[in-house]
Amino acid sequence: MKKTALVTGASAGIGKATAIYLAQNGYNVYGAARRTDKMEDLKSFGIKPIALDVTKDDSVTACVNQILQEAGSIDILVNNAGFGLEGAIEDISMEDARYQLEVNVFGAMRLAQLVLPKMRENKYGKIVNISSVGGKIAFPLGGWYHASKFALEALSDSMRSEVKQFGIDVIVVEPGATRSEWGNVATDILMKVSGHTAYKDLAAKTHNVFTRLNKDIAEPEVIAKLVRSGIEAKSPKTRYTTSQMASSLLLFLRRILSDKQMDRLIMSQIK
């Protein structure tokens, strides 16, 4: 019997690529996003588009209930919905900061809460949380985005130990730079928020870093394959990362350098 997967943020980028890849490999896939018009093409792959706004509890509940009624269970949850709020911490309003956490953290965890009862009953489940290299390393002008991904990593670690006894795995995927709408949206937000403030020089330099990162960029299908590797492994790793040289090197240096050494390294690249 086909396993049923719910992939959030399936209207573009990693979410869309993951939904398609899982459908092509024998899964019964529901692709969820706010922009349902952007998911019409998923139907040709046998994917069922479903409306979902992760910041609205009634939307989250309705989404999960519909899938449970139609498919009987949600065996795999891929928490991919998210965005990057870039800008100096001083410049970002608390309203926008809260929204960042609502989307990237609370929305993902509310979905986990709702799918876990059936997973426990079935003694089977995979919860895949799409984090980022930015869930381990914090760059200037990305504080609230990094806070959301650091939080997602910590919650994943706690939940992994809590639900293992029920036959459920919690897996973190940490993409580096990936071809999607994310990069353009993030840089646009950065310049809008801090491009004309006391942090404008740092914002301009950081914008240039984003441009350089586009030269070592992974296709979203690479992340989709990591997701499949995690959910099909008999004993999945706790974290899966891409093999991009820049990302791998940064994660290695984060492990061996002191905080101040890491600060100096990061700032040396922002020019």
What span, in angstroms and rounded, lies between the C-alpha atoms of 229 and 236?
Answer: 8
What span, in angstroms and rounded, lies between the C-alpha atoms of 30 and 261?
Answer: 44
What span, in angstroms and rounded, lies between the C-alpha atoms of 188 and 195?
Answer: 10
- Residue 160 · residue 238 · CB < 8 Å: yes
- Residue 172 · residue 129 · CB < 8 Å: yes
Q: Which pLDDT score, from 0 to 100, does residue 72 have?
A: 97
Mean of pLDDT values over 245-268: 91
Confidence of residue 208 (pLDDT cuts 50, 70, 90): confident
- Residue 15 · residue 7 · CB < 8 Å: yes
Active site residue 149: yes
Active site residue 30: no
Which residue in 21, 27, 145, 199 is the catalytic one?
145
Q: Please name the fold of domain 4-269.
A: Rossmann fold (3.40.50)
Q: Which pLDDT score, from 0 to 100, does residue 247 have?
A: 81
Mean of pLDDT values over 59-70: 98
Res. 214: pLDDT tops 80: no
Rounded to a whole number, what is the largest CA-CA distance in the chain?
58
133-191 pLDDT, tens digit each: 999 999 999 999 999 999 999 999 999 999 999 999 999 999 987 776 666 677 889 99
Which residue in 30, 149, 199, 240 is the catalytic one?
149
For a pLDDT cut of 90, what percent of the chain falls above it?
85
Q: Which of 7, 61, 57 is CA-nearest to residue 29? A: 7
Residues 6+ apart with CB under 8 A from 24: 45
Average model confidence (pLDDT) across the chain? 94
- Spell out the domain ranges in the chain: 4-269
19-63 pLDDT, tens digit each: 999 999 999 999 999 999 999 999 999 999 999 999 999 999 999
What span, in angstroms and rounded, lies between the C-alpha atoms of 261 and 197?
Answer: 28
pTM for the complete prediction?
Answer: 0.94
Query: Can you read off the two tokens belonging to residue 7?
Result: 């992939």
Exposed e or buried b for every residue in 55-69, given b needs 16+ CB within 10 A?
beeebbeebbebbbe
Alpha carbon of residue 156 to chain centroid: 12
